[in-house]
Structure 1
Amino acid sequence: MGSPTPDGNEYRTMTLEAFADTIVPGEKRSPDDRAVAGASTGGGAVQAGAIELLETPATGLSNSLDDYQQALNRHASAYADEHGLPLDDSVPPFVALPFADRTSLVQALTGTGHQERELWVLLALFANMAFDTAAHLHTADALAAGHPGLTTMGFMQPGDDGLWRFPEYSYGKQLADPHPGTTSSGSPE
């Protein structure tokens, strides 16, 4: 017998975490983590703060997250029925799907022929954004906390004054000669 059914907010969080983990997989946060499938090592979108980013009013999605959760779980239930998959009713339907099936469902939802494609691609973009940019955090703070995405990408730490400077070029080599009208400060004339 499973654990009690999660309440509405926990249900939503678990569902959205499972979606974000499908987009940028990470390792389980604990042995009993159901939302994060553990399909990868290191931190993924969930550990990078995907839910925090989605709940930020600036995304324009924060008031729609309940609707996303409900729609995703309806799609997951239909997918499970279609494929003869039993679902553990102690967790949301999308969370109950094995990782490979989560991936197949997300591929279908974001596929060019799906009528809701734009909605699911938008949600996926925010999962990527949490990992790739830590958009919900100040970059210096995210780096100091060991943000998994910025760390994985090798994002350079700021100087002692909190500013980024690239005295040896950001790519480690000069890519082009400066424009002849560029001043010593790097500004155009």
Structure 2
Amino acid sequence: MQPGAPEGNETKIMTLEAFADTIVPGEKRWPDDRAVAGVSVGGGAVASGAVTLLEDPAGGLAEALDGIVFGLNAYAEGFAAEHGVALDESVPPFVALSYEHRTALVAHLTAPGHPEKALWVGVTLFCNMAFDSAAHISTHDALAEGHPGLLTIGYSRPDPDGLWRFPRFSYGRPLSSLHPNTTSTGSPA
């Protein structure tokens, strides 16, 4: 490891954040943020909790993340060598790539015919899920905390009693009549 380079968990977190930011970009969290490239306004996958979702044992990827990070950084080193890109050795190789180079590498890893496509598409899906569904926390908590993904896609807030009701039907009309035994909470009797 190079002097000044991040170690262990810091490398893992920075690399996963840089990958998540490549999938759903956001704005830098502070001026010298290296993991988040800052190519978008507002919070992206990182601010939406992508790393938390990836590390959740229920998702099935948590135990593989060290290997995923190692592989992604190895691919970044190969990409840099192939394209004549000098990497800043004070950060993990994938983090050292520009946003354009990160997206090119991810496009390569997720392309049809790549032998590890399923793995990289899976990691990509987790980053998207963190942003567009807040899969790692309850919807109530996500909205209360100002989850950037749910707010960006216009997810409606619940009524004051905590229940979601939709007075306007999405198709402009009710799709069916309520069952006669439906209770006031919407449950069948």
Asked if these proteins are the same fold (TM beyond 0.5), I'd say yes
Q: Secondary structure at the match of 1:30?
A: coil
The separation in 1 between residues aligned to 2:3 and 2:176, in whole angstroms, is: 63
Residue 176 of structure 2 aligns with which residue?
178
Superposed counterparts of 1:28-177, under 5 Å: 28-169=28-169, 171=170, 173-174=172-173, 177=175
Q: What's the offset of the Cα at 1:183?
A: 3.2
User: Percent of pairs identical after alignment?
Assistant: 58
Structure 1 residues 82 and 129, CA, compared in 2 at 3 Å: closer, same or farther? Answer: same
CA RMSD of aligned residues (A): 2.0
Aligned residue pair count: 185
TM-score between the two structures when normalised by the length of structure 2: 0.92
The separation in 1 between residues aligned to 2:3 and 2:159, in whole angstroms, is: 48
- 1:34-77: CA deviations, max 9, x gaps? 00000111000000000011111101111111000000000000
The separation in 2 between residues aligned to 1:113 and 1:33, in whole angstroms, is: 34
Gaps of 5+ in 2: none
Q: What's the offset of the Cα at 1:187?
A: 7.4
The separation in 1 between residues aligned to 2:33 and 2:90, in whole angstroms, is: 13
Structure 1 residues 116 and 132, CA, compared in 2 at 3 Å: closer, same or farther? Answer: same
Gaps of 5+ in 1: none
The separation in 2 between residues aligned to 1:30 and 1:184, in whole angstroms, is: 55
